[in-house]
Structure 1
């Protein structure tokens, strides 16, 4: 890890005078050059840093030439730790960092922010790197609408259920994954979503950065040969447009829905399922009701 040039290091004497509050600080996802000057100044100027892993954050502090007390805050921290951090943030500046990237993105930081907000703590965000957004920008997939879904469950049954919940979402999907689980997750995604285009982002901003595109099944086969190392982001294309339902399909769906629902509810459900305009579905529902009444 290369240290900063001496004139770029943050001297504690030159750190900003920060008021009490919780400072949510984004840190590099790999390349230390991505740490913003503002983030470095805030980290050097707070009274305490709540860190996911103090050993990781200690390297970052060494990089900017700062020494700041740290307290571990992670998935296994209990309520007392959170209450202590909130109390301290009411009277002095406290920073929240994750090991890499933007805090709260797939980590437990939201609970601390929630409690701090409820207690009236001043909240300040220092934005910066985020692996999910970085991977999305490299993917070449639609970015006007996307869903970050975090990590898939490890167990096959729970993973299949989670994937089924994502299948109908008309947006680019962004997930995190580990190297040893990548091939199995890609295969499960191909089975549950269909063989959509996808891109694997690995070790983003680092020396061995990799961005590999292919179908989900192609990527599953590629990584089944050897599990990759490093931090991994999966981006997956939205579902393709389904062909419009034909008349027979529409009638069958409406008759099934009308059997135990009102016309309004049946029309809403069938319109959503088929993608057909609600007015068209409503007109056909009324016609079917009339035909059934006359027979």
Structure 2
């Protein structure tokens, strides 16, 4: 009981100051600054090509920022990228973390549980009897599936349903369940509201909000953020989060375990108006974001 309690996820505070990433043809994003306490729902809003995914991957230690600083769970970026990867997990990120359409739901869940046990398990885990390891893996799968709101019995063929036969919202739930098997402190999801109806979009945000409420910090890329999320934009604009008792009036306080709302987020060049219209060397560009993503294997 005590060992299981220690493994329960607790959200990672995120502190970002002047964060930026530049590719060969320009900045993917820059001058991003915000604070988010553990268990915050953070929405990165902006159009496709504005560097949203690059920011998501940089915050989870998958891409190396070129300027500014950030801390995730007290771990500095980019210095501790490997450590940040260990406490974070990717849900749906096209071209980086995708579901295999030929796999069934059960195959995806079983593979992820096996990899989790093999690469992240403690020595004590390997000393358990095979039956105990299987039971522990099944319990972890059931916990993640329940947290993601994925009703296996409602799928066309239950767990034997192929990914290609899942609706978009069901596939999103599965990708989140796979990420939650590792009990991360930070969950990152790309294109959270892509190709969803209004009703499905509301369900997707309710799901991400419930994950955040359970203690895991959630960072989600979207085209339109919900009002109760901490809004970060990758455009040259300033976004403000709704004021809460945790923020205080000015949102300037450093996050702590009780600060879930965080403070305002900003992104983009702060002196863009002072530059010639044709000068893109210091501004965020779609080409810069594409180049940066290409380095991760995503064209």
Please give the TM-score of this superposition, normalised by the length of structure 1.
Answer: 0.25
Structure number with bigger Rg: 1
Higher relative helix content:
1
Q: Tell me which of the two structures has the higher relative contact order, counting C-alpha pairs closer than 8 angstroms and 6 or more residues apart.
A: 2
